[in-house]
Structure 1
């Protein structure tokens, strides 16, 4: 019996700012996001074959990176065009949301079983059997979407929109390095201001907004890595990565709590499965609150160690 062939994850060359380029910054960014978006199609065969959930994960990460980079540079481009592109990209990725969420739950199955007592494992097993069934349905729908003419047309349209992305005229004359420093410095300062506003009463929504800002700055710092030593930023890439990871883990647990609540409301309210999910929800909420306090302390400490 021969082992079934499997696809290898496509390897992408590191994308960094072409420091010796003489092109205006808007053209460099436009080319970068177009190349990055065009690379997304390299994940599609792996998503359709469904050997490894990492194909879908990297597809989504790549698209989120594009949206973050466009958001970071929104002052360079015509707002209406950016709004249309962002809407189109969001709609292209949206059908994959459920499959990815279910992949995450199924990959954490062992962790969830460890959270509740053995007597509730039978009910939890039924819950995960249901998730696996839902995941297969989501995968088939996603597979059909990626193969559809509608998807291909939307993908092609976004490529055209990115090629036609136009600058605001007042930005054409500014030196690229000066513009880059301004863009990153403004976001750097917004993040520090947000961090200094964090306290024990901070809402989950505030932490979520801080996560989005950190992600945007991280992608910007990674892209402009050749210039980082010349930029006067107080937040370094290592710190931003740390914050984004911690904030991302906290946001994931928020999503998990919402999912479990929705499952109980929509699918099942009684029986062993409901009891097991209720206990899992209780444990997850408890850990979420504990992690929130720890996260808040880490953000406060980081803000104290970072000069504005």
Structure 2
């Protein structure tokens, strides 16, 4: 992280994190408004998500204007996210599915691409509008003013390494206690307990509510990853290995969610008898769902393991020892 040599207190690190992600947002803003390159939108959205995590993670140390609070930043990020989700869907179709289809099925997919194009045009307009509205303009104006004269709480003067475990523990707990870990699990009715030795039911058998619960864990994994990455300089190998696993959870649940979204929009365009209309497409979707299901089950078992859960908790406990070797 830039300026890490100068940062001593929790307040110092809070300002560095907030400023870093805010600058990334500004860097991509102009090109997002031009809407020429989907990667610019992705990077601006990531900046917003990471800024939101920094604001939440350092909330005990900073006093921010209301226009820059976690909720307001989240509202802006959500609008950017809707456009990004369509770009991801279109890219997935073009790179993963389309090359595998017959000419006949490729032709039939034109109807889907037209629907995505029409929907994207409307959302792109909304995205450009919000970047000109008061919610975004006030956010920038007030955050610029805060960065010029930051306002901190009393606890911001504490040395960062002394309280990092306290900052991380609530997010780690939220991640480990998320109900998605037991979605689809087998319940031993005789003893009324979950039998973790039996794999969870297949993704295609999940209810809509269960799908939404998995999607919720993806968001929790993302928040956990972003917060841990903010503090990466203070920790060593065990911490980094756990961070990699959490990133994998975010990624595989993201692919699973993309599959749910694809299934939904295909149903809207072609009805629910996809096997008859697009048989190769239907088969490829099943294959990807199966692959992602296996990857998810492996990660699910990893984070349900008492030993691994303990290892994750321990990995955040001694930052000051690592800090001496890093700084």
TM > 0.5 between the two?
yes
Report the equivalent of 1:3.
Answer: none
Seen in structure 2, the aligned counterparts of structure 1 residues 278 and 98 have a Cα distance that, compared at 3 Å, is: farther
Q: What is the CA RMSD across the aligned residues, in angstroms?
A: 4.1
TM-score (norm 2): 0.68
Report the equivalent of 1:247.
Answer: 253
User: Residue 107 in 1 paired to residue 91 in 2?
Assistant: yes
Report the equivalent of 1:7.
Answer: none
- Give the unaligned 5+ runs of structure 2: 186-199, 201-209, 311-327
Counterpart selection for 2:262 from 256, 259, 276: 256
Counterpart selection for 1:89 from 73, 77, 80: 73
Q: CA deviation at 1:228?
A: 0.5
**2:278 & 2:308 partners in 1: Cα distance?**
42
Per-residue CA distance 1:152-187 (angstroms, 9 max, x = gap): 633434515854875554x34643212112222443
Report the equivalent of 1:306.
Answer: 308
Per-residue CA distance 1:105-156 (angstroms, 9 max, x = gap): 221233333566654433211221332243344434534554x364663343
**2:67 & 2:301 partners in 1: Cα distance?**
34
User: Residue 58 in 1 paired to residue 43 in 2?
Assistant: yes
Q: How many residues align?
A: 284
Seen in structure 2, the aligned counterparts of structure 1 residues 277 and 155 have a Cα distance that, compared at 3 Å, is: farther
Report the equivalent of 1:18.
Answer: 4
TM-score (norm 1): 0.71
**1:158 & 1:175 partners in 2: Cα distance?**
27
**2:66 & 2:281 partners in 1: Cα distance?**
41
Counterpart selection for 2:223 from 216, 228, 236: 216
Q: CA deviation at 1:291?
A: 2.6
Seen in structure 2, the aligned counterparts of structure 1 residues 280 and 185 have a Cα distance that, compared at 3 Å, is: same
Seen in structure 2, the aligned counterparts of structure 1 residues 35 and 172 have a Cα distance that, compared at 3 Å, is: closer
Per-residue CA distance 1:255-293 (angstroms, 9 max, x = gap): 3334445x44xxx869x99x7589957964775466335
Higher-RCO chain (CA-CA 8 Å, sequence separation at least 6) = 1
**1:69 & 1:59 partners in 2: Cα distance?**
15
Report the equivalent of 2:232.
Answer: 225
Note if contact 2:13-2:160 (Cα within 8 Å) is conserved in structure 1. Answer: no
**1:129 & 1:168 partners in 2: Cα distance?**
52
**1:281 & 1:154 partners in 2: Cα distance?**
47
**1:182 & 1:82 partners in 2: Cα distance?**
25
